[in-house]
Amino acid sequence: MSDLAKIVVILAAAVLAVPLAKRLGLGAVIGYLLAGVLIGPWGLALIREHEEILHVGELGVVLLLFIVGLELQPSRLWALRRPVFGLGGLQVLLTGGAVMAVMQWLGWHPGTAFVIGFGLSLSSTAFVLQLLGERGELTARHGRDAFAVLLMQDVAVIPMLAILPLFAPSERFEPGEDLQKALVAGLAIAGVVLAGRYLLPRLFRLVAAAHSHEIATAAALLVVAATALGFTHIGLSMSLGAFLVGMLLSDSEFRHELEANIEPFKGLLLGLFFVAVGLSANLGLLTKEPGVLLALTAALIAVKALLLFLIARLFGTAPRPACKVAVLLAQGGEFAFVLFAVARDLALLTTRQQDELNLAVTLSMAASPMLVRLTDSLAERLAERRRRRSPAQAEPIAAAPVLIAGYGPFGQTVARYLRVHGIPCTVLETDLKRIELGRALGQTVHFGDASRIELLRAASAGDAHVLVIAVDDGETSLCIARTVRHHFPRLRTISRACDVRHTLALMELGVGVVTSDTYLSALEMSEHVAVALGVPAGQAHTDVLHFRAHDQRNLDRLRAVHHDEARMLDTARAIIAEMEEVFRERRHTPATQPPAAGAPPLPRIAPREAPQGGGTG
């Protein structure tokens, strides 16, 4: 088969398999793996040679590490230091160290034990981030913790790749060669550091002056490819070179442009990498040794999930988010394939061992979406059972007229407003760091999950006038709203919402007032845009009030159809058309007044101030 025919076959398989896998909730990574299996020796046998495809696909991994390096700004890394180095570092060390120790105790070679232990400690960055994005959970507590662990794992791959050659059989090296290689490696890294600090910024400024998007993209690819080629030539990992260059450019003014230029190539080549892994999957082993492979996969998922849950709890994560983090990261990762391939080249793994490990990692990836769904279902059932059974009496908390669930930035703003107006409030929070912050500021903050009926009773929810649901996680806010509706029907509830669907779901549960995280700030920005375009300030403000009143009046229309995607889109289009007609008529009306009823006046905030958010979604 010609190279062009292979490209057509691979693209066709990916175009068919990836959308199907995403529709089934399995994610794009599983789709690419299935595409490889479909056209490989154990499927239609259209392509049998996978080594060349795998080598090209490895460029996707290189570009992924370049982007990881770009995202490692010192300020961002410092802000995430506790979850990244604490939660993430402990996960890598405990998981990898535990497996390595057990294997050495059983008599395995230290290098083999190292690559298997630490290779299996890694999770799939591409898979998990895509899953979190599809579920809208990247900003939830478990989403942030999962991202921190993945970031640490991606960074940890670099020293793992650097350490692997040290475990290689000694007969592969001649005396004195180690020192020479170490010197060359040191000089290469120093050269990359100097180039990244002084040469590359000037190169990108020169390219930017040409005002050519194509040349900027070519320059970004040139830098990554040249660094990877140079590091490969001197016997170092090309991923290490790409990561170093990315990290050195993370503070430059070209960071976002570089990431945007590289992203499409990274996605396509990483997909090709997964197709090649699917092509190379030895499914014959699954038919010959199903018990061994399934046991290895189950052990991988169980050990990682247990350790992740315990570590997350140690760092103050509540049980439910900790369980979600554990299940999300329990699978093997794409960098495990890279480590196992390098280990095979260094004679630390046999080809059969590599095939078995690759297959176990692939099976763990395939099982992950189903495990996540199962965990969500079980968590909901357990929460419902816990709400129904008679709870143990928790330690009572002094009654306050306002109860706030969640002490993130949103809840802190509400609590601060109430405090300066002399209105007592009680706050429930599960994040120990936020609790410490609140108490340091003199705020009454108690540890507890506000979705638990016993905690709400202990917090005197029955005597409170208002409950403010200010938690970050949308699912948790809905759970709290259900609990309150069932057990405290007279308690007035006000909740934040992340989008329109969340708003409608909360309204359906009887939440009296729902404020969007971004709606009011977006309206205020719209008002500033209108003024900047020459609209008189008074008219712009009145227009915004009418816009908001129109939105509020139409929420019930959306609420009636929000379970039907097609009808909701039709209704949204009709609402937009009506609003266009209303404002077309207003433009021809000499004088307009603010709406007499509906939305309250939009607060006037000076342009330099940051809005605190709120409004209907």
Q: Can you give the pLDDT at residue 396?
A: 52
Residue indicated by tokens 């299935």: 34
The CATH class of 390-517 is alpha beta
* Cα 69–Cα 311–Cα 244 angle in degrees, nearest 5: 10
Assign 513 a pLDDT band (cuts: 50, 70, 90): confident
Mean pLDDT of 500-522: 80
pTM above 0.95, yes or no: no
Average per-residue pLDDT for the chain: 80
- Contact yes or no for 125/336 (Cβ under 8 A): no
* Per-residue H/E/C for 365-413: HHHHHHHHHHHHHHHHHHHHHHHHCCCCCCCCCCCCCEEEECCCHHHHH
Alpha-carbon distance of 165 to 154, in angstroms, equals 19
- CA–CA distance, 540 with 292 (Å, rounded to integer): 69
pLDDT exceeds 80 at position 393: no
pLDDT at 114: 93
DSSP string, 552-587: HHHHHHHHHHTT-HHHHHHHHHHHHHHHHHHHHHHH
Question: Where are the chain's structural domains?
Answer: 55-169+182-366, 390-517, 531-617
Amino acid (1-letter code) at residue 541: H
Does residue 171 surpass a pLDDT of 60? Answer: no
Confidence of residue 469 (pLDDT cuts 50, 70, 90): very high
- Identify which of 465, 427, 420 has the alpha carbon closest to the alpha carbon of residue 449: 427
Region 302-329: mean pLDDT is 88
Per-residue model confidence (pLDDT) at position 119: 92
Q: How far, in Å, CA of 617 to CA of 604, rounded?
A: 19
State in words which class domain 55-169+182-366 has: mainly alpha
- The yes-or-no verdict on residue 286 having pLDDT over 60 is yes
Q: Which long-range contacts (CB under 8 A, 24 or more apart) does 559-566 make?
A: 559/504, 559/507, 559/508, 562/500, 562/501, 562/504, 562/505
> Phi, psi (5° rounding) for residue 229?
-65, -45
Query: Does residue 155 surpass a pLDDT of 80?
Result: no
Cβ-based neighbours of 443, under 8 Å, separated by 6 or more: 407, 415, 419, 427
Q: Given a cut of 90, is residue 416 above it in pLDDT?
A: no
Is 466 strand, coil or helix?
strand
Helix, strand, coil % over all residues of the chain, rounded to 5: 70, 5, 25
Q: Average pLDDT for residues 390-406, to the nearest whole number?
A: 67
Domains 55-169+182-366 and 390-517 alike in fold: no
